[in-house]
Each structure stands twice: as structure tokens, then as C-alpha cells.
Amino acid sequence: MLIIARRGTRKLLNLRQVAATSRALGFDVTISDARGNLKGFATMVNSCDVLLAVHGAGLTNQIFLPVQAVVIQIVPWGKMDWMATNFYGEPARGMNLRYLEYHISEQESSLAQRYPRDHMVFKDPMAIHVDKMSFSVRRRSPPALVVPSGPTPTGELIPLTSMDKARLFSSFTSLHVFAGGATSIHDPAETIRRAISAALVHYYPVAGRIVTLGPSAGDDDDHDFRLACTGDGVLFAAATASCTLRDARFFLNAPPHADLALRYGTCSVSDPLLLVQVTEFACGGYAVAATWNHGVADGFGMAQLLRAVGELARGLSPSVKPVRHDESIPDVPQHLLAAVLRRRTHAEVFKPVEYAYCDITIPRSFIDRVKAEWRCAHAGDVRPCTEFEAVTAAIWRCRTRAIGAGADDEAPAPLVFAANIRRHVGAKEGYYGNCLTAQLVTAASGSVASGGGAVVDLVRLIRDAKERIQAEVVAGGEGSGSRRETVALGEELVTALCGYNALYVSSWGGLGMDGVDFGDGPPVRVLPSKERVGAPACYPCLPRRRKDDDDDASIAVATCVTEEHVDEFMLQLSRLR
């Protein structure tokens, strides 16, 4: 018997048990992933009496079986009967092979750990097939520049801080989903386009471009980038979707359609600093995707700008006076990011990896339990465990277990989270440039994955890192310089930060993205994403306000595991109670 094992999706989670049972029945079992030398593999298939495989291209190898051999196709859950029978069953019979099918039940499928039983995956799987085939996005016209609606200062060159430069040319997208309906604003795309134009009068640096003045003094590598106030504008597009938001399931458990946002491809000096697309759905709802050059603003700053656009769309004036350059902000060197980026430049790290998109739900009961355990263990600490700390600790543990990093107990499993430091540096109200730092939490894989250790132990590590922020910000430039950065972090840790064991976390709660209102109320979903996923990432504490949402849960999205590990990751998360 030959069992064809898949590495990614549609794989047998109990492969070892299947093989053991087959051997107990008297079969000589071989397990192969159908890769390698074709001639050699064809010869092996021809020597077998039985070929067993899950539905997929591996079953085409049945053409090499001897006459009267048996083909067993395992058909996954999801109304795949027609494809299974017509793609592989009928051809097998036509080649005088004996053909059997085994259909996976919903209880046997790993989907049971990823979705609730009342989800469309179980209630109407065919509807999902139809949605995926029919959902399309069409732009009304080519993207065009939107310039400030009134006069703005020009010729000004705004200096960029070390926090800006560390994130320059890295793009980020925030997708805001609005339900619309009977009271929906007329022509959302045009309303928002006009409001953006008006907002750029107040946020005129965003209508500019990045320019370079050559190497900085005393630095042979980094260029002295500035934000030039040119008034060239931001890029805008209007689009329509061929379905309702309910048809698209409000982008639950599936990544948003790629065409819902404008993308940079490769973000460069001459590109607009902000790209906005408004996509209107058949139900009257719409999605607003803002993609920006991270060097001009952090998430907090972009949320402030988008709220101002919303206020202007509603006929109001911006409630916050924007500040892009604050000379009082001290230089806060980004040692950790610098060390990682320098290693990335000089070694083969961050190779393109296809991370699976995961929509995560952490039960409120679990969060409350962790908070209670924290109170018991740290009675003298007046600050309670936060939702971010509990959720991040849980995801960190579940992911470490899922990818098998805990098998090497001493291997580093670093966690890096973005921290807003506006209050630490005394930033002016309305400052929307980057004002954050990457905070490192170090731990061995074994201690992170340990079943014996409590989640509150990981919360303690995260809390310790948060408590170091003030001292590290005050310390400023101490220990700067690429060689010292690497030495301070340690070669093994820097290597881990560039690899699959690391987890990068950025909380989307508290930024103010859920306060964006163009006239139809706040968004029902806010989803962050990166155009280029260079490292395992997770975005916890997402705002969500759909009527049928589970209020007793905290949600997150993540691109932090490959398809090989996604089922085990979701299984680990499902055990959180």
C-alpha cells in the first residue's frame, strides 16, 4: 500500500494511525509525498496493490498502478463529491482499477476546530464555493491623485526621526468595513474623496513625497531622508464589488479580497504616501482601505488622519489639530529593528514565505481566567492584567506549540511587540508621525510551549518588557551602532528574530481606528494587513461591531504560521477555555 502524504492543506492529521492500522491488516505500507524522481516514483506506484490519498493532484499517479489495483480517495468535508468522482473516480474505473471513496464527516474534519458549527462551512458549504467563484471587484476608473482642496505650505522639508526612518518604505493597510443600509451616505466614494481633499489642507505633509539629501553626517550607510511638502497628492480609487457584505461574510475567517486595496508593489521615494480605495457593495455597504508608507505615520497617527476625513465628510471640522514635526521628541534609536534589518541585508533571511491567514477568536472566559490568575499571583500589583497581555501570551504559546519550536527546549522563541511611546516622550497632542518602539520579550521555546507553565508566566514576561520602556527610552542612544546592537542582542537571538520561531505583534486596539465615521457610524470590522509579509505577525484586540458578533470574545488576525502548521495552531487555540 502506498499512502500519498500532503504537506499543506487537506492532509491526514492521523497519518501514523492510518499507517499502523494498515500494517496490522497485513499491508506493507509506504508513505511518500509524491515528489522527486518521476521515473522512480512511477516504478514504486506500479509495484503497489493499493493507492490511498486525500483528494488532490497526487491521485493522478493512479495512471501508474497495475490493472485491478485499488484506489482509495479520501474526500474532505465541503461538498466536493462531484469533483472527487469526476476528476479521479471515473478515470480510475476507466483504467480498470477498483475504486473506493471515504467521505470525511464534519466531526472528523479539522474545520471543526476552526469554525463554529453554525458557520456556513457546515450549514451551506456550496455557498462558499459559489462566493469564492463569483466575488469580484471592479474599479470604476484608473486610480487618480487627490490634491489638497485649498492652499498649503510648499517647499518645507520636514526631518524624519529615527522612528520614521526605521519604517520608511514599509507599507501597511487598514481596511474599514461599513455596513451602510437605509441611512447610508449618498455616493460614499465621492463623499470620501472630497473629504480626503479637504483633510489634506490640514495634513498637507501627507500630500508630499519622500526625498533624500544624501548620507547623514557621520553615517556612511543611511541617507538623510526628508518629508517634502510638495502638494502632489495621494492616490485614490473607487470600485464596486459583485456581492453584498453578507455574501462576503464580512471577511470573517477568510482574507479580504486582494483587489479591495491599492498596493505599492515596492514602496519607493517617488510614490504617494497614502493610497485609498473605496469599494461599494451591492447591499449599500462599503469598505475603505487605506494603505500608507509607514515612514510618514504610525497606526495611531493614521487613525487620527482617517477620523479627520470622517469628520469633514460629516460637515464638521477636525477635532484634533495635527502636528507632524515635534522638535521636543527625543531621538529614540530603533536598535532591535536596526539589528534585524542589517542582518536581513547581509544574509539570506526573511525569504518569501506563504503564511496562512488566520482569523482568531479568544474566548472571554479564557481572558477572564488569566486575569483572575494574575490577580492571585500578583496581589501586590495594582495594575491588572490587560486583554492585550492575556491574548498575546495565549497566541504566543499556541503558535510555539503548533510549529514544534518547543521540541528544542533551549532554542529562542522571541516575541516582539510595537509600543506607543507618546506619553513616555511627551509628544504634543495631535502628533501623527511614528512614535513607537519595538519591544523585545525573550524566552526559550520550551518555557513558552510548556504545558506545565501557566499563561500568566508569559504575561509576566510581557509585562516586564512593557515596564522597561520608560528606562530604555530615557537611555536613548546608549549602545547604538550596528556592531554593538548585534553583540548586545546576541548572534543566536538576532538569527531567531529573522526566522520562523519569532512572533511580531502589533495591537490594533486603542489606536482609534474604530472611531472612523464617514456618516454611517463606526466600522463593523477593521482589518490590518501588510502587502509584504516578511515575518510571522499577529494583530490582536481588533475592534468589531457587527450585531451578530460574539461579544464574549477577543478577536485577532494573524499571518504567523505556514499552511503546514495552521491546523495544529487553530487546534491549540480551540483548547483555550
Active-site residue, from 326, 359, 514, 517: 517
Active-site residue, from 202, 294, 424, 565: 294
The torsion angles phi and psi of 156, rounded to 5 degrees, stand at -70, 135
Cell of 286: 462599503
In which residue are the cell numbers 501597511 written? 172
Distance of alpha carbon 419 from alpha carbon 203, whole angstroms: 24
The amino acid present at 42, given as its one-letter code, is A
DSSP string, 332-346: ---HHHHHHHHHHHH
The torsion angles phi and psi of 526, rounded to 5 degrees, stand at -130, 125
Burial 260-291 (b: 16+ CB within 10 A, else e): bbbbbeebeeebbbbbbbbbbbebbbbbbbbb
- For residue 14, the tally of other CB atoms under 10 A from its CB is 10
Between the two ends of the chain, the Cα-to-Cα distance in Å is 41
Cell of 576: 483555550
Beta-ladder partners of 223: 215
Question: C-alpha angle with apex 169: 163 to 173, nearest 5 degrees?
Answer: 95
Burial 111-140 (b: 16+ CB within 10 A, else e): bbebbeeebebbeebeebeeeeeeeebeee
- For residue 44, the tally of other CB atoms under 10 A from its CB is 16
- Per the annotation, the verdict on 294 as an active-site residue is yes
Distance of alpha carbon 26 from alpha carbon 16, whole angstroms: 16
- CB of 562 within 8 A of CB of 355? yes
Task: Give every strand in the sheet of 503-505, ordered side by side.
Answer: 355-363, 553-562, 537-539, 503-505, 415-420, 436-441
C-alpha R_g of the chain:
26
Distance of alpha carbon 462 from alpha carbon 388, whole angstroms: 10
The torsion angles phi and psi of 494, rounded to 5 degrees, stand at -60, -40
- Per the annotation, the verdict on 326 as an active-site residue is no
List the catalytic residues. Answer: 294, 517
